[in-house]
Amino acid sequence: MNLAETEIDPVAHQLEQALSAGRLPVEYSDWGSRLLQRLHQPVRVAVTGGSGAGKSALIDMLLGKVVIGRKAGGHMVEVCYGRSEQVVFETASGECLQQPGLLADGDVPQGTVLVRQYLPDPQLRWHSYTELPLAGPVNRQRDLLQKASAAVDVILWCSQEFTTAEQALWAAVPDSSKDHSFLVLTMADRQIMRGVLADRIAALEPVAAVEFLGAYPVAAIQGLQARVSGGAQDASLWRSSGGKQLFDDILHQVELGRTSDLDQAEMLVRKFGGGTERPAPSPRQTTAPGQTAEQKIGGGNGFSEALELLQDRAEQMLTDAEAGGGPRADAVLSACLEIIGELSRELDKAPDSPAAQMAREAVQDGSELLMLCQLEQGEDAAIDAVTLLVQLKKELAGDMGPS
Q: Give the pLDDT of residue 312.
A: 62
Instruction: Give the sheet arrangement for strand 112-119, strand by strand.
Output: 96-100, 86-91, 112-119, 76-81, 127-133, 43-49, 154-159, 181-185, 215-217
105: which DSSP letter? G
Is 167 within the bounds of a domain?
yes
Q: Are residues 214 and 129 in the same domain?
A: yes
* Same-domain status, 95 and 226: yes
How many domains are contained in the chain?
A: 2
Whether residue 200 is found in the same domain as residue 313: no
**Strand (E) or helix (H) holding 185:** strand 181-185
Q: Are residues 90 and 202 in the same domain?
A: yes
Which residue blocks in 157-196 are alpha helix, DSSP H?
164-170, 175-178, 188-193
Query: Does residue 36 belong to any structural domain of this protein?
Result: no
How confident is the prediction along the chain (403 residues), in pLDDT tens digits per residue? 455 566 678 888 899 988 998 888 887 888 889 888 888 889 999 999 999 999 999 999 999 999 999 999 999 999 999 999 999 999 999 999 999 999 999 999 999 999 999 999 999 998 999 999 999 999 999 999 999 998 999 999 999 999 999 999 999 899 889 999 999 999 999 999 999 999 999 999 999 999 999 999 999 999 999 998 866 668 889 999 999 999 999 999 998 888 888 888 888 888 887 543 434 444 433 334 344 333 433 444 345 555 565 566 655 655 655 555 555 666 666 777 777 777 777 777 777 766 677 777 777 777 766 666 666 666 666 666 666 676 676 666 665 554 4
Q: What is the CATH number of the domain that holds 202?
A: 3.40.50.300
- Does some domain include residue 355? yes
Q: Is position 333 within any domain?
A: yes
pLDDT of residue 182: 97
For residue 355, the enclosing domain spans 293-400
Shared-domain flag, residues 90 and 222 = yes
| Same domain as 301, residue 233 | no
Q: Classify residue 281: in a domain, yes or no.
A: no
Pair 135, 229 in one domain: yes
Question: What whole-number distance in Å separates Cα of residue 399 and Cα of residue 188?
Answer: 35
Asked if residue 346 belongs to a domain, the reply is yes
Residue 170, class by beta-carbon neighbours within 10 Å (0-12 exposed, 13-18 middle, 19+ buried)? buried
pLDDT at 337: 72
| Residue among 360, 341, 260 at smallest CA distance from 294 | 341
Residue 247 lies in a domain: no
Residues 204 and 109 in one domain: yes
Q: What is the pLDDT of residue 88?
A: 97
Same domain, 76 and 190: yes
User: Of 273, 59, 308, which is closest to residue 184 (Cα–Cα)?
Assistant: 59
Q: 198: Cβ–Cβ under 8 A, 6 or more apart, which residues?
A: none
Helix (H, G, I), strand (E, B) or coil at 1: coil
- How many Å apart are CA 92 and CA 31, to the nearest integer? 35
Point out the domain boundary residue: 241, 265, 284. 241
- Smallest Cα–Cα separation from 337: which of 19, 26, 27, 22? 27
Are both 197 and 322 inside the same structural domain?
no
Single-letter residue type at 231: G
> What is the rounded (10 degree) CA torsion for 340, 341, 343, 345?
160
Residue 270 lies in a domain: no
Instruction: Report d(CA 391, CA 342) in Å as an integer.
Output: 17
Same domain? For 55 and 191 the reply is yes
| Cβ(317)–Cβ(308) below 8 Å | no
Say yes or no: 94 and 185 in one domain.
yes
User: How do beta strands 96-100 and 86-91 pair?
Assistant: antiparallel
Coil, helix or strand at residue 183: strand
Closest CA to 273 of 4, 10, 2: 10
Domain end point (choices 200, 220, 241): 241
Q: Give the domain-ending residue among 201, 222, 241.
A: 241
